[in-house]
């Protein structure tokens, strides 16, 4: 069709015939189930449900693993992007990998699945980001390390030591008035330990944030090995 | 200021070693004596770092020896620009970028346009990029020069315009010392560029420039910022320019996906086959991918009408039988109506911006959506879609073409009839064929249409922001790709004149029109002198309603007539143009419009027309913020617009 004036959208009458090329289609994710006979042009009384908004689902904790080029400012880029796109980071741990120019970030954040997927896709837009994986649903080993300086007197020291032992922690420093306990485990385990010793008086607390690794022989690093 | 050098400290700059006699003098630190009284104000005096800082301070004051004409960092910059096919770029000199200006004269292939403000330079590079499809280049010095570029870089980011912005920075050792004109420009541009660099070593310049241009133009285009320290511009270097393969190897994290997934393409074809009232929504991505031919072939084969976004103007010839028009907040009512009743939206290279969708909850309630975009992050960001396709618009449309069946237009007879009816109804309203608005003054839609007609619809039309932008988008009549230039995403007032400057240099074969309101014009009118000095033929149409028109319209309609700061004084534009040496003419009645346009067309070089338009004309229809596409306002206060 090459005519450049008039046309059917301007009122000219096209010839009529039967429509063709119908194929069955699966229902989509958005509640718009295809029907063979679509609704009339302005059926006000049968208005469809409001369009689903991306990111309106239930919030839960997600863990992302990102492999990034170890370039100056890469941490700033990631942090800046999360801030600008309105994602709230719960914890962020950065370290080297076995490859000299590649760093690994473990990011935990709360959000619904669609929003976190959006965060993942935004991270991929950064030139220095090589791979991002949401490992929330995968079997993983997850650990973080916490150091807790607890007030300890002669009367409470033994109790605290017992709690540390039960939590499979380790006492790394003892003084007349305090104990520093080291505890490792999943975020919830460290939370639990902190809650248990809180009544004795926490003088200082530091946590590394979670690091995770998928169980089994598969490796996230393999995909980007050069 | 005492200049002291300790030990064997060697300054990194090629400024040469001065004060060699000082070298032997021991200092308190070097001698290791304790608790000696402080004899100097220089922190860490005697260390290599302190000496380097002192030398850099001297260099900042231009106490350098005459440059040796070996290959230095500044030469690498010029070589890189030439290798990338840059023929013109826009800049403004300053202290730390002077080494680059020192060698520019040796590269006559590079035309440097001296702008009057760095923001103008950035918009000019942006306008150049939009009409040519090539990477635009702008340049400024450190500190204020760099921050002035920021608005232009942001404009390019939100509209995905390929651009490389170059800034100088203070010498490397002075970074972090709050040196004169030092600002953390890398930190500032980080969230508003596709990528940015700080180069401290001349040996890195070839790689960085090759990467920057590759990133700027590949995949979803965007601005890249390169910040170069003054000493890097001055260092000698033998570093060679990398090959394309080396550039790719150096960017393992940058591999845009260009081809749509075959399974997704088949799903999309199935959606099209069953759709009864489909619409194609064409966006800026069609122009970036140069996919207008493919779009047209696809639309013709499937007989699907094409609506376009603001930046998608030109993706299809507006006189094409399947072109249906401009959608969104100030789009045509018939287009929005069609979207609201469509059962399939096939969106290509557009991102469902809030100005396009309005309230997402009520957007296109009957439609399933196929979304084609090169940026995976755009898919599912604003609206949930049924069939996502990540890929380049051109390649995806090419691949789709054999998958879709040839549709007989007769099969869509009822649909087309309905669309045509809506269109006639909508185009007949809000139109001032007589050229006069209800108060008898010039009607802006009429003026814009006459500019389009008298330039045969073959010009480049550069909009500013606000009412003028919407009138231009609706009434000019666009036929060719990249003939419409507009700051869509960031909505940068003052964009028109400088962007038109770049557009005129990029496409000198076309007549270039800057269409601007009196508000936006007064933001960047200093570039008038650039037009004169560089003989850039831009026809400027100032739409003077003595108001910030869109502000006034919002205050009238949304803020219950509570006007504040909407009234705007302007100069006598004829005298203003005269002072710049630009021929100008004024048109206040419909009868004067054609003569004024022809006058401007007859001028060699820049010309200005002062259109005195109706003061209170609104742009309708209008979708109030927070409302949906079905809630368009078409008149206000009982009066037809």
Here the ipTM equals 0.84
**B274 — contact with chain A (CB < 8 Å)?**
yes
Question: Do B597 and B482 lie in a common domain?
Answer: yes
Least confident of A54-58, B61-65, B291-295, B619-623: B61-65
Catalytic hit among B180, B254, B416, B599: B180
Q: Which residue has the higher pLDDT, B463 or A17?
A: B463
The answer to the question of residue B627 being in a domain is no
Question: Do B189 and B222 lie in a common domain?
Answer: yes
Binary contact (A117, B380; C-beta < 8 A): yes
Dist CA B397 CA B415 (whole Å): 23
The answer to the question of residue B104 being in a domain is yes
The answer to the question of residue B359 being in a domain is yes
The pLDDT score that the predictor gives to residue B22 is 45
| Chain B residues within an 8 Å CB radius of A101 | none
* CATH of the domain spanning A60-134, picked from 3.20.20.220, 3.90.700.10, 3.30.70.260, 3.40.50.40: 3.30.70.260
Domain count along chain B: 4
Catalytic residue check, B3: no
pLDDT tens digits, residue range B281-340? 999 999 999 999 999 999 999 999 999 999 999 999 999 999 999 999 999 999 999 999
The answer to the question of residue B584 being in a domain is yes
- List the one residue out of B155, B72, B149, B163 whose CA is nearest residue B117: B149
Whether B448 and B484 have beta carbons less than 8 Å apart is answered as no
Catalytic residue check, B118: yes
| Chain A residues within an 8 Å CB radius of B408 | 17, 20
The answer to the question of residue B630 being in a domain is no
Question: Do B493 and B584 lie in a common domain?
Answer: yes
Confidence of residue B232 (pLDDT cuts 50, 70, 90): very high
Dist CA A17 CA A135 (whole Å): 54
Catalytic hit among B45, B118, B182, B271: B118
The pLDDT score that the predictor gives to residue A49 is 76
A45: pLDDT strictly greater than 70: no
The pLDDT score that the predictor gives to residue B38 is 63
- List the one residue out of B203, B189, B361 whose CA is nearest residue A31: B361
Question: Across residues B545-572, what is the average pLDDT?
Answer: 94
B343: containing domain: 262-425
- List the one residue out of B212, B252, B257 whose CA is nearest residue A99: B252
Binary contact (B366, A77; C-beta < 8 A): no
**A126 — contact with chain B (CB < 8 Å)?**
yes
Collapsed DSSP state (helix, strand, coil) of residue B585: strand
Question: Across residues A124-135, what is the average pLDDT?
Answer: 95
Catalytic residue check, B192: no
Confidence of residue A223 (pLDDT cuts 50, 70, 90): confident
Whether B608 and B620 have beta carbons less than 8 Å apart is answered as no
**A122 — contact with chain B (CB < 8 Å)?**
yes
Task: Give the A:B interface size as CB pairs under 8 Å.
Answer: 171
Dist CA B141 CA B131 (whole Å): 26
Domain ranges of chain A: 60-134, 140-212
Q: Report the first-to-last Cα separation within chain A, whole angstroms.
A: 51
Least confident of B27-36, B60-69, B242-251: B27-36
The pLDDT score that the predictor gives to residue A30 is 47
Average pLDDT of chain B to the nearest whole number: 91
DSSP B22: G
Question: Do B138 and B269 lie in a common domain?
Answer: no
Question: Across residues A208-223, what is the average pLDDT?
Answer: 89
The pLDDT score that the predictor gives to residue B640 is 53
**A57 — contact with chain B (CB < 8 Å)?**
no
The answer to the question of residue B637 being in a domain is no
Question: Do B190 and B304 lie in a common domain?
Answer: no
Confidence of residue A8 (pLDDT cuts 50, 70, 90): low
pLDDT tens digits, residue range B379-388? 999 999 999 9
The pLDDT score that the predictor gives to residue A7 is 66
Binary contact (A73, B410; C-beta < 8 A): no
Whether A142 and A211 have beta carbons less than 8 Å apart is answered as yes
pLDDT tens digits, residue range B403-455? 999 999 999 999 999 999 999 988 887 666 678 887 788 999 999 999 999 99
The answer to the question of residue B572 being in a domain is yes
**B186 — contact with chain A (CB < 8 Å)?**
yes
Binary contact (A25, B271; C-beta < 8 A): yes
Show the tokens assigned to B102: 């020192």
Collapsed DSSP state (helix, strand, coil) of residue B567: strand
B249: pLDDT strictly greater than 90: yes
The pLDDT score that the predictor gives to residue B55 is 82
Binary contact (B362, A51; C-beta < 8 A): yes
Confidence of residue A13 (pLDDT cuts 50, 70, 90): low
> Which contiguous run of DSSP H or E holds residue B216?
helix B205-217
Question: Do B85 and B162 lie in a common domain?
Answer: yes
Average pLDDT of chain A to the nearest whole number: 82
What is the CATH code of the structural domain delimited by A140-212?
A: 3.30.70.1150
Binary contact (A17, B419; C-beta < 8 A): no
| Chain A residues within an 8 Å CB radius of B323 | 9
The pLDDT score that the predictor gives to residue B437 is 83
A36: pLDDT strictly greater than 50: no
Dist CA B466 CA A194 (whole Å): 57
Dist CA B473 CA B258 (whole Å): 30
Question: Do B326 and B203 lie in a common domain?
Answer: no
The pLDDT score that the predictor gives to residue B439 is 76
- For chain A, what percent of residues have pLDDT higher than 70? 78
The pLDDT score that the predictor gives to residue B89 is 97
Long-range contact pairs involving B529-535 (C-beta distance under 8 Å, separation at least 24) = B529/B116, B529/B580, B530/B113, B530/B114, B530/B115, B530/B116, B530/B120, B530/B501, B531/B501, B531/B582, B531/B605, B531/B606, B532/B580, B532/B581, B532/B582, B532/B605, B532/B606, B533/B114, B534/B113, B534/B114, B535/B605
CATH number of the domain to which B94 belongs: 3.40.50.970
Confidence of residue A160 (pLDDT cuts 50, 70, 90): very high
Catalytic hit among B5, B58, B194, B230: B230
The pLDDT score that the predictor gives to residue B16 is 41
Give the torsion through C-alpha atoms of A156, A162, A166, A172, to 10 deg. Answer: 80
pLDDT tens digits, residue range A64-99? 999 999 998 999 999 999 999 888 899 999 999 999
Question: Do B409 and B362 lie in a common domain?
Answer: yes
Catalytic residue check, B181: yes
- List the one residue out of B527, B554, B549 whose CA is nearest residue B538: B527
- For chain B, what percent of residues have pLDDT higher than 90? 82
Dist CA B252 CA A98 (whole Å): 17
Q: Which residue has the higher pLDDT, B27 or B259?
A: B259
The pLDDT score that the predictor gives to residue B528 is 97
Least confident of A13-17, B119-123, B141-145: A13-17
* Residue of B276, B381, B407 lying closest to A118 (CB–CB): B381
Question: Do B145 and B199 lie in a common domain?
Answer: yes
Question: Do B135 and B198 lie in a common domain?
Answer: yes
- For residue B493, give every residue at least 6 positions away whose Cβ sits within 8 Å of its Cβ, in sequence order, or none: B464, B465, B466, B519, B520, B523
The answer to the question of residue B257 being in a domain is no
Q: Give the residue on B whose Cα is nearest the Cα of A225.
A: B252
Question: Do B571 and B469 lie in a common domain?
Answer: yes
Question: Do B227 and B98 lie in a common domain?
Answer: yes
């Amino acid at each position: 069709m090459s005519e450049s004036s008039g046309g059917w959208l301007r009122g000219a009458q096209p010839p009529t015939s039967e429509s063709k090329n119908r194929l069955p289609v699966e229902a989509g994710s958005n509640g718009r189930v295809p029907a063979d006979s679509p609704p009339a042009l302005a059926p006000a009384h049968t208005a469809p449900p409001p369009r689903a908004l991306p990111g309106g689902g239930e919030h839960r904790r997600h863990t992302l693993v990102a492999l990034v080029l170890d370039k100056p400012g890469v941490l700033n880029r990631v942090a800046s992007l999360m801030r600008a796109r309105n994602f709230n980071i719960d914890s962020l741990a950065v370290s080297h990998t076995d490859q000299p120019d590649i760093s690994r970030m473990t990011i935990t954040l709360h959000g619904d699945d669609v929003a976190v997927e959006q965060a993942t896709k935004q991270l991929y837009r950064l030139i220095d980001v090589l791979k991002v994986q949401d490992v929330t649903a995968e079997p993983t080993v997850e650990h973080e390390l916490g150091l807790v300086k607890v007030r300890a007197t002669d009367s409470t020291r033994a109790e605290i030591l017992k709690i540390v032992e039960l939590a499979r922690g380790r006492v790394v420093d003892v003084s007349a008035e305090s104990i520093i306990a080291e505890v490792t485990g999943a975020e919830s385990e460290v939370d639990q330990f902190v809650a248990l010793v809180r009544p004795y008086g926490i003088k200082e607390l530091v946590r590394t944030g979670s690091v995770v690794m998928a169980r089994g022989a598969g490796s996230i690093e393999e995909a980007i090995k050069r | 200021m005492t200049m002291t050098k300790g030990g064997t400290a060697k300054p990194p700059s090629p400024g040469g070693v001065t004060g060699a006699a000082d070298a032997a003098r021991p200092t308190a630190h070097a001698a290791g004596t304790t608790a000696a009284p402080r004899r100097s104000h220089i922190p860490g005096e005697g260390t290599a770092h302190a000496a380097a800082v002192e030398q850099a301070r001297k260099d900042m004051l231009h106490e350098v020896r005459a440059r040796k004409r070996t290959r230095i960092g500044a030469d690498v910059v010029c070589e890189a620009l030439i290798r990338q096919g840059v023929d013109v770029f826009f800049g403004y000199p300053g202290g730390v970028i002077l080494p680059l200006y020192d060698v520019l004269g040796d590269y006559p292939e590079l035309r440097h346009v001296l702008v009057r403000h760095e923001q103008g330079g950035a918009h000019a590079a942006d306008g150049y990029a939009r009409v040519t499809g090539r990477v635009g280049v702008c340049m400024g010095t450190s500190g204020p020069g760099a921050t002035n570029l920021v608005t232009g870089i942001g404009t390019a980011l939100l509209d995905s315009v390929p651009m490389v912005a170059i800034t100088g920075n203070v010498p490397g050792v002075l970074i972090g010392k709050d040196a004169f004109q030092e600002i953390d420009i890398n930190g500032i541009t980080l969230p508003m560029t596709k990528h940015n660099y700080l180069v401290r070593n001349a040996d890195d310049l070839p790689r960085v420039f090759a990467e920057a241009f590759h990133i700027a133009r590949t995949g979803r285009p965007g601005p890249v910022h390169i910040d170069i320290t003054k000493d890097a511009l001055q260092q000698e270097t033998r570093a060679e320019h990398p090959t394309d393969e080396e550039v790719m190897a150096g960017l393992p994290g940058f591999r845009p996906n260009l081809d749509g997934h075959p399974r997704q393409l088949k799903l999309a074809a199935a959606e099209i086959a069953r759709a009864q009232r489909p619409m194609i929504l064409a966006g800026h991505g069609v122009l970036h991918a140069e996919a207008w031919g493919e779009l047209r072939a696809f639309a013709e084969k499937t007989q699907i009408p094409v609506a376009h976004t603001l930046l998608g103007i030109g993706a299809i010839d507006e006189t094409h039988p399947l072109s249906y028009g401009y959608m969104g907040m100030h789009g045509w009512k018939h287009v929005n109506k069609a979207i609201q009743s469509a059962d399939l939206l096939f969106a290509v290279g557009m991102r469902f911006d809030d100005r396009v969708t309005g309230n997402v909850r009520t957007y296109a309630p009957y439609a399933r959506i196929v979304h084609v975009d090169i940026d995976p992050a755009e898919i599912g960001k604003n609206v949930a879609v049924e069939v996502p396709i990540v890929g380049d618009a051109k390649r995806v449309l090419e691949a789709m073409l054999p998958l879709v069946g040839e549709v007989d237009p007769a099969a869509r007879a009822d649909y087309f009839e309905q669309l045509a009816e809506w269109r006639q109804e909508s185009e007949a309203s809000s139109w001032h064929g007589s050229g006069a608005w209800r108060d008898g003054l010039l009607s802006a839609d009429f003026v814009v249409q006459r500019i389009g007609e008298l330039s045969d619809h073959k010009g480049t039309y550069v909009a500013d922001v606000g009412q003028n932008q919407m009138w231009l988008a609706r009434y000019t009549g666009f036929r060719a790709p990249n003939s419409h230039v507009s700051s869509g995403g960031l909505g940068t007032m003052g964009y028109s004149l400088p962007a038109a400057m770049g557009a005129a240099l990029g496409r000198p074969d076309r007549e270039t029109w800057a269409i601007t309101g009196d508000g936006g014009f007064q933001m960047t009118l200093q570039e008038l002198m650039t037009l004169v000095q560089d003989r850039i033929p831009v026809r400027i149409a100032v739409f003077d309603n003595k108001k910030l028109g869109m502000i006034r319209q919002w205050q009238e309609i949304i803020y219950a007539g509570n006007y504040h700061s909407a009234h705007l004084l302007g100069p006598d534009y004829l005298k203003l143009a005269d002072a710049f040496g630009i021929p100008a003419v004024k048109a206040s009645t419909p009868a004067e419009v054609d003569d004024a346009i022809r006058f401007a067309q007859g001028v060699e070089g820049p010309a200005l027309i002062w259109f005195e338009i109706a003061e209170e004309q609104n742009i309708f229809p209008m979708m109030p913020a927070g409302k949906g596409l079905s809630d368009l306002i078409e008149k206000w206060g009982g009066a037809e617009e």
